[in-house]
Amino acid sequence: MKLERLLSRMETLTEQVRQERKELAQHRELAIGNVTVGHVLGGMRGLVSLLCDTSSVLPNEGLRIRNIPILELVDSYPEDVFFLLLTGSMPSEEEKAEIRAAFAKYSNVPYYVWNTLEALPPDTHPMVMLSIGLLAMERESRFRQAYEAGTPRQDLWRFMLEDAIILLSRITTLAAGIYRMRFAKGDRIPPHPDLDWGANYAAMLGLPDPNGEFTRLIRMYLVLHSDHGGGNVSAFSANTVGSALSDIYYALSAGFNGLAGPLHGLANQEVLRFVMSIYDRFNGIPSEAQLRDLLWERLHAGQVIPGFGHAVLRVTDPRFIAFHRFGKEHCSDDPIFQIVDLLYQVAPKVLQEHGKAKNPWPNVDAASGSLLYHYGMTEYQFYTVMFAVSRALGISAQLVLNRAALAPIIRPKAITTEKLKELIAQAQS
């Protein structure tokens, strides 16, 4: 694998990170927060207990990748953002060429993966196909082979990086192949070695793109979804699996299985299903009052408003802002986008009045699907695969960095209800 420039950057970075961790470890007794009963009952929400340097999510601002606000990266190429996630700086022109070539080099998916996927029942969810496709390729993991050959722990990050590049190189081919197979779009379109990662993906999906707008959307989509800190379900699950020295195929598949949940990545599918149901019910675009009544109806029925709210964010998600701007510019006449736009105006007010959600503002999933739909990707069961392909960038970078830092196995301690009651009684007496 010809990655001399990236490898040399990573060698320096690895030394730095290990030195930094050693210095931090000298303060291991310093408390940075309290664990409360609320944390134990509330899915650890707000409990600071993970280290993640690829990106951070600021409640009042949103995502920063290596401290760069995400809105400053919307025109970047996703493979350059992978380089940024991994190393902390944008690649030079030479480094860009190197990473682009590496992402193109391994883009052919082995035949046995297609055979495995073709054997599945035709109504299998595309996320299941993606997860199975990745696991089927696990036999090729260079990391596992290196581990079995007795490679010292200090050097394993190199093999995690090789696996990451091969996997990223292939995942767009795999995802596009799943799209065409699952939704009867015709033969698979082979990867084109001269195209950048995003353009290649757009081309392999095979949707019409006469003026390159869809390709631009895909590149932006891949960047916007690339990472979101370390505590979200998919990143946390993948890193937990990776911390047991499972290779990237096991780890990413685990993370994606979490992404497939409706409270996480599947929300973009749910948003489109919801928007389409609004369109069908009103035979077009509802009035503001009609939409407000419908949202209340949903809340009274104990259902969430998909695409709104967030576990960390307390403002409109900047990723939503980027998609919304793109929609305003390119699809403002599309009724599906118009309903998304109307929801943006009405839903926050309803959620505020309802008073439960801590964040009434739209998240990334509120607009992304309507844009894919506009360009002909009407099969919304596929949308979480789009999300997963993008998130593979950030999670892979996190997995490589955790191996470079020699991060230990993740093993929090659980407590029984009985013990919790005992502690509460003690505190009260």
The binding site for ligand CMX (CB under 6 A) comprises: 45, 232, 263-265, 267, 299, 304-311, 356-359, 363, 365
Residue with Cβ nearer ligand CMX (70 or 165): 70
We find the least distance from the C-beta atom of residue 205 to ligand CMX, in angstroms, to be 22
Question: Using CA atoms, how far apart are residues 220 and 228, in angstroms rounded to an integer?
Answer: 15
Question: Using CA atoms, how far apart are residues 63 and 236, in angstroms rounded to an integer?
Answer: 17
Residue with Cβ nearer ligand CMX (126 or 191): 126
Question: Which residue of the chain is nearest ligand CMX when measured via CB?
Answer: 309
Given the residues 196, 209, 317, 365, the one annotated as active site: 365
Please work out, in degrees rounded to the nearest 5, the angle formed at the alpha carbon of residue 330 by the alpha carbons of 327 and 335.
65
We find the least distance from the C-beta atom of residue 94 to ligand CMX, in angstroms, to be 35
Length of the chain: 429
Residue with Cβ nearer ligand CMX (265 or 327): 265
Given the residues 228, 264, 330, 374, the one annotated as active site: 264
Residue with Cβ nearer ligand CMX (153 or 358): 358
Given the residues 310, 324, 330, 374, the one annotated as active site: 310
Burial 167-206 (b: 16+ CB within 10 A, else e): bbbbbbbbbbbbbbbbeebeebbebeeebbbbbbbbbbbb
- Identify residue 179 by its one-letter amino acid code: Y
Complete edge-to-edge strand list for the sheet that includes strand 55-58: 55-58, 62-65, 68-69
We find the least distance from the C-beta atom of residue 270 to ligand CMX, in angstroms, to be 7
Place of tokens 């408003």: 305
Please state whether beta strands 62-65 and 68-69 pair in parallel, antiparallel, or not at all (unpaired).
Answer: antiparallel
We find the least distance from the C-beta atom of residue 346 to ligand CMX, in angstroms, to be 13
Active site residue 300: no
We find the least distance from the C-beta atom of residue 77 to ligand CMX, in angstroms, to be 23
At 288, is the secondary structure helix, strand, or coil? helix
Active site residue 264: yes
Place of tokens 């033969």: 187
Active site residue 310: yes
Question: From the centroid of its chain, how far is CA 326?
Answer: 20
Residue with Cβ nearer ligand CMX (242 or 307): 307
Residues 6 or more apart whose Cβ sits within 8 Å of residue 5: 92, 94, 95, 98
> What are the φ and ψ backbone dihedral angles of 422, each rounded to 5 degrees?
-60, -45
Residue with Cβ nearer ligand CMX (87 or 268): 268
We find the least distance from the C-beta atom of residue 396 to ligand CMX, in angstroms, to be 18
Give the residue numbers marked as catalytic. 264, 310, 365
